[in-house]
Amino acid sequence: MASRMAVTLVATAVLAACSSSQGPTWNGYSVGLPNGQRAFRVDCRGIFEGQDTCYSKAAEICGKQQVRPIEQVAPLADADTARDVRVLTFQCGPAPQPVQPAPQPVPVPPPAPAPKHITLEGDANFDTDKAVLRPDARARLDSLIQSARGVSFTRVTVNGYTDSRGSATHNQGLSERRAQSVAQYLHDHGLQSQRFEMHGYGASNPVATNATAAGRAQNRRVEITLE
């Protein structure tokens, strides 16, 4: 039975022909396809053609390249003689690879908004009786500055507190210096605000008991509020 795939030919030109006393044994054509690609057709309708004549002539046209059938016409026959093709339309070379879609960029989630309130507490932020920021405190402040990149605040309030040990005068001064140290770091490292306010409250407003070491560590703190 004839085996064929539909194809539209928009232009043909004779490549070559071979003749005998009984007429041409094969004709070769250059074929233009609708998509602009080049193809060929071999017509092997003469009386001396044998099995695979069209494929043999197609191989001569393609040379070292692969013969890639597009349409083939064979006489009525069973599957065992399906290669007795009399009209073969083909291209030379491997089939074109499908165009892979460009990878889609992975959407980047928007950065999380800067926290409005953070607290630095415990001995990881300052040495005992000092107002110089330790590495852990600077790392937390750097994270805050990064998360607020591109945002300008109306006011940043920094409040310092101590535990109940020491005199009220000493604790007041220490809490003020620690608040000043934090506010200065935020300002110098790029946190944008119209105004920075610093307050020291000494040992007032404790958040935990001063009777235990853990409670006193919580009371030694600096609170930052962004507005």
pLDDT digits (tens, 9 = 90+) for 10-20: 444 555 555 44
Residue tagged 């065992």 (tokens)? 80
Rounded Cα distance, 102 and 71, in Å: 32
Q: Which of 50, 48, 82, 54 is nearest to 67 (CA)?
A: 54
Q: How many CA atoms lie within 13 A of 111 on its CB side?
A: 12
**For residue 55, pLDDT beyond 50:** yes
The set of residues, in sequence order, having a beta carbon less than 8 Å from that of 41 and lying 6+ positions away, is: 9, 12, 28, 29, 31, 87, 88, 89, 90
What single-letter DSSP state applies at residue 164?
A: S
**Which domains can be identified in the chain, with CATH numbers?**
11-92 (no CATH), 117-226 (3.30.1330.60)
**Structure tokens that stand for 109 in this block:** 């989630």
Per residue in 112-170, pLDDT (tens digit) is 677 788 899 888 788 888 999 999 999 999 999 998 988 899 999 999 999 999 999 99
Whether 76 shows a pLDDT value over 60: the answer reads yes
- Please give the average per-residue pLDDT across 46-58, as a whole number: 71
Nearest to 143 by CA among 109, 186, 184: 186
The number of helices, as runs of H, and strands, as runs of E, in the chain is 4, 11
pLDDT exceeds cutoff 60 at 202: yes
Specify whether the CB–CB gap between 155 and 197 falls below 8 A. yes
Above 90 in pLDDT, residue 108?
A: no
* Residues 67-95, mean pLDDT to the nearest whole number: 76
